[in-house]
Amino acid sequence: MSGMTAKGEKRLMLFTGRAHPELATAVARELEVDIVPTSAYDFANGEIFVRFEESVRGSDAFVMQSHTAPLNQWIMEQLIMVDALKRASAKRITVVMPFYGYARQDKKHRGREPISARLMADLFKTAGADRLIVVDLHTAQIQGFFDGPVDHLFALPVLAQHVGARLDRSRLTVVSPDAGRVRVAERWTDTLNAPLAIIHKRRDPRVANQVKVHEVVGSVEGRVCVLVDDMIDTGGTITKAADALFENGAAEVIVVATHGVFSDPAVDRLKNSRITEVVVTDTLPIAQERRFDKLTVLPIAPLIARAIREVFHDGSVTSLFGGDA
């Protein structure tokens, strides 16, 4: 018989960039593995250098990085890490992006605009990524931008468990802040067994972060409204949506989002609003000075770790969400 047969076991290796090492440490703890020692630093002109301190040949490599500010730096660092793994002969490279940078630029609103979310997928594919793991994309269609498997994780079970445990479900109404989030809001209604309301809004495509709220579709009078979104950036959309709910008689508003971006002036807007509680996960690092009394931050590491374990063992990520992923 010609050729040679090698007997061996798969080897999971976890890597992290410098954007959110606390999350990677929590994921490593859940997986009961160590993060691979990595040297990473910036040259004087801003160029990034990365070198792994252990052999990665033949490994099943998982590269974590949350795309937080300064966003472009951390995206570039993750791309360089993927390239280093490819050139060091890692067998499979899975990019773990708890927050997918540029996800809001998923289509052209007008002529001569980029589709930057597609560009992101192309960059990681070219760098050498075989697979992506992401949490609550801005729109599900982004999964189709990457030429390979994409495991789209939902933070809903983590968030809904918190909300359902502390509130009277008979008084709840789930609210979508716009038409684009209705499908996600419907999953919330199924989970909490609550009615749905929708806020109709219009966004000026020429002005960033400017939203005009028009009207609330659905009954919210006297109800505890759970306002669900994928991210909170400057807080303009959420606070205006909450104001519209109170104007329509809502008794209380709870805001729930997966990604707490919290660009200025989000913290001031949320602190000074009538919102009772803001619930997010730790997909992005939230500095101590950006935390406030109304804020609750839930851990996402157990969910990411379970997905990594399923991918590594060739299991089913869909099974983590009852077949809905």
Active site residues: 201
Helix axes 156-166, 182-192, angle to 10 degrees: 50
| Alpha-carbon gap, residue 42 to 34, rounded angstroms | 24
Q: How distant, in Å, are the alpha carbons of 20, 155, 230, 256, 272 from that of 160?
A: 24, 8, 13, 9, 25
Are 77 and 17 spatial neighbours (Cβ–Cβ below 8 Å)?
yes
Structure tokens at 132: 């992506």
Candidates 26, 34, 65; CA nearest to 284 is 65
d(CA 217, CA 115): 31
β-partners of residue 41 are 49
Q: Are 101 and 138 in contact (CB under 8 A)?
A: no
- Asked whether 221 and 250 are in contact (CB, 8 A), the reply is yes
- Tell me how far apart the alpha carbons of residues 309 and 315 are, in angstroms, rounded to a whole number: 8
> To which residue do tokens 């660009």 refer?
263
**Sign of torsion over alpha carbons 212, 106, 265, 281:** positive
Residue pair 131/114 in contact (Cβ under 8 Å)? The answer is: no
> C-alpha angle 276/185/301, rounded to 5°?
75
CA-only gyration radius of the chain, Å: 21
Q: Alpha helix (H) ranges present in 145-197?
A: 156-166, 182-192
